[in-house]
Amino acid sequence: MPASDLKVETRIGVKRKPRRILSIVSNTAQLKGFAVGFFGEEMTRAFLMFTEAGHRVDLASPEG
């Protein structure tokens, strides 16, 4: 489902200024013998919803 299809309820008449959001994404392949990391949709869904709402999103990872 595209992020644009999701409904987000807001208070009518309340103006809020855009926020800056920092999203940190793991890029470690294994941790204590178990595979870790992230699925692309876990990051992109939130990224799209935040940017469509007018927020600025910065992405970072431990190894750059």
Express each pLDDT in 2-39 by its tens digit: 666 666 666 665 667 888 999 988 766 777 887 776 67
Per-residue pLDDT at 58: 94
Per-residue pLDDT at 32: 80
Measured CA to CA, the distance from residue 17 to residue 12 in angstroms comes to: 14
Per-residue pLDDT at 57: 95
Phi, psi at residue 43, to the nearest 5°? -90, -45
Measured CA to CA, the distance from residue 33 to residue 44 in angstroms comes to: 27
Per-residue pLDDT at 14: 63
Q: Which amino acid is at 12?
A: I
Provide the domain count of the chain. Answer: 1
Q: Which domain holds residue 20?
A: 3-60
Phi, psi at residue 30, to the nearest 5°? -140, 145
- Tell me the mean pLDDT in the region 50-54: 87
